[in-house]
Every structure is written in C-alpha cells, then in structure tokens.
Amino acid sequence: MSEPVLTVEDLSVRIAGLHILQGVSFTVAPTGVTVLLGRNGVGKTTTLRAVVGLTPRSGEVRGTVRMGARSLLSQRTHRLVRDGLGYVPEDRCVFAGLTVAENLRLAERRGTTAAYDRVFALFPELDRRSRQRAGSLSGGQQQMLAIGRVLLNDNRLLLVDEPTKGLAPKVVTEVAEVLERVAESVPVLLVEQNLAVVRRLARDAVVLAAGRVAWAGDAQELLLETALTRSLLGVGSVEGHQPASQPAAAASAPEDGN
Ligand SMILES: Nc1ncnc2c1ncn2[C@@H]1O[C@H](COP(=O)(O)OP(=O)(O)OP(=O)(O)O)[C@@H](O)[C@H]1O
C-alpha cells in the first residue's frame, strides 16, 4: 500500500479540564476521501484543529502528527498552510463585509500564482458574484467560497469540516459533487455527518467515540453494517438519514479521570 499522506499517532488533546482526545491514531490515504465520523461531541473538529495547529493556547496537545515525513505538531498554522495543508473550517469563516473577490484575494499566497482558473472552473458562480458581499451569499455559496479560497493554492491535503451542515438537499448534492472533483487531485480528510454524502465520497472511514478511535476501515463496508452504524453513529441506514442531533451519553467528551 502507498504511504499515507497524514499519520496521526496517539494524539491526545486536553482543553479546559477535559481530556477530549485520548490516544487517537489513524492514517489518511494519499488519494481519495477519508471520512472522520462519530456522534456529536466525540472530538472530530478537535482532531482537525489539532492537526492544523489551532488548539486553543490553554489546551495541551500530545502525540505525533506527520504529513509525509514532516512532523506537524510543533509548526505554526500559517507555515502548515503554506506547505500545503488546506483547511476549510466548519463555520466557513468568510469575511462577511468583503466581496467574493476580496475574500479570494486575501487567500493568495505571496510568491505563488493563485489558481483562479481552477476555482472558477469548479465554482462559476463565484466568478459571476465576484462583487457581491460574502455576507449576502446563501449558505451554500458561502461554503463554495470557503472551499474555493483554499483551492486557490496547491495543497497536499485538504481538511474539510462538515461542509454540508445546514444546507438544503440540492446544495448538499452540489457541495458533494465539488468535493468529488476536488478529491480527484488532492486527498481529503472530511468530517461529515450526512451518510449519503459519505457513501458517495468516502473510501476510508475512521469513527471516533468518546475521544478514541472506535472503528477504522473501508467506508463502504461500514455503511453496510447497520448494527455498527447504529451503535457508533446512532443511525441504521443511509437512506433518509438525518444526523443524530443529541450527543450520546457515552459519546460526549468524558471528564478527565486522570
Ligand atoms: N475550546 C473548548 N473548550 C471547552 N470544551 C471544548 C473546546 N473545544 C471542544 N470542546 C469540547 O470537546 C468535545 C469535542 O468537541 P468537538 O467539536 O471536537 O466535537 P465534534 O465531534 O466535532 O462534534 P460535532 O459533531 O457536534 O461538531 C465537546 O464536548 C466540546 O464541548
């Protein structure tokens, strides 16, 4: 098997007295989509934020994270991004008062040529709406802008946190289509609760429960295991799936018992 693009080993994160991640280990394949799953509050976002160096300063991160041969945990976020770690956060973080064009311009990296052609080929609407304030875009359009901003630059790996959250079904499909095309050229570590999107995109899956890896393997096999998806994710089938809205008692971050 080819070398993983990302290796996470024994990752532990403590924030505000909570031991949120407790020895998480997994790898991300160098092609395709690896999905990070789990019920609400199990530590998915905390995992992505630790990888990209965005754990709050008051927090403590231990373990090893490598992109290829390079160790990431000691690096500052801006360096990681410059070296090809793209991050699309859950809350999209577009600058509401700036136009689409200005939001994109802010993402340009000095010394590199921004790939506007690539972004506008994927999202023609961003080109058409370049003078519109980002704050007046729909949720789906803002998500496209957040992804487009990251794709202006070349990436070795994309981390994408719940890109379909809160979007209408038609827009969910559009976002999934875009990610499918993106994943043809760059590997993606995706946090996603919509299992229809997971079924469409993911090759590998890592499931977290209570801050630990509860299952890892072939995503499509996982989706066939109704009893497993019910126990790990709180849903029994992909069809008609709604994300579990309530954190399971066993799946919320535990009190620090140490
Ligand atoms: N800065 C913080 N301060 C205190 N607690 C935090 C902080 N960040 C995360 N947590 C807690 O850590 C746990 C894991 O949060 P995280 O956002 O990683 O979960 P998640 O699996 O991404 O959840 P969801 O699916 O609901 O987005 C939660 O109980 C959350 O309240």
Looking at residue 37, its pLDDT comes to 96
Looking at residue 238, its pLDDT comes to 61
CA-18 nearest atom, ligand 1: 5
Looking at residue 2, its pLDDT comes to 82
CA of 34 to the centre of ligand 1 (A): 20
Give the Cα-Cα-Cα angle 127, 128, 130 (nearest 5 degrees): 60
Per the CB < 8 A criterion, the answer to whether 134 and 94 are in contact is yes
CA of 45 to the centre of ligand 1 (A): 7
Report the distance separating Cα 258 and Cα 241, nearest Å: 37
Name the nearest CA neighbour of 221 among 198, 248, 244: 198
Per the CB < 8 A criterion, the answer to whether 31 and 182 are in contact is no
Tell me which DSSP letter residue 113 carries. Answer: -
Q: Could you give the count of Cα atoms lying within 13 Å of 39 in the half-sphere of its Cβ?
A: 21
ipTM of the complex: 0.96
Assess whether the C-beta atom of 46 lies below 6 angstroms from ligand 1. yes
Looking at residue 157, its pLDDT comes to 97
Q: What is the pLDDT along the chain (258 residues), one digit of tens a residue?
A: 589 999 999 999 999 989 999 999 999 999 999 999 999 999 999 999 999 999 998 999 999 999 988 999 988 998 999 889 999 999 878 999 999 999 999 998 877 888 999 999 999 999 999 999 999 999 889 999 999 999 999 999 999 999 999 899 998 999 999 999 999 999 999 999 999 999 999 999 999 999 999 999 999 999 998 888 998 998 866 654 444 443 333 333 333 333
Per-residue tokens: 194: 């919509």
CA-58 nearest atom, ligand 1: 1
Assess whether the C-beta atom of 45 lies below 6 angstroms from ligand 1. yes
pTM for the model stands at 0.89
Ligand 1 mutation target, pool 11, 36, 44, 256, most atoms within 8 A of CB: 44
Looking at residue 189, its pLDDT comes to 98
CA of 79 to the centre of ligand 1 (A): 25
CA-211 nearest atom, ligand 1: 14
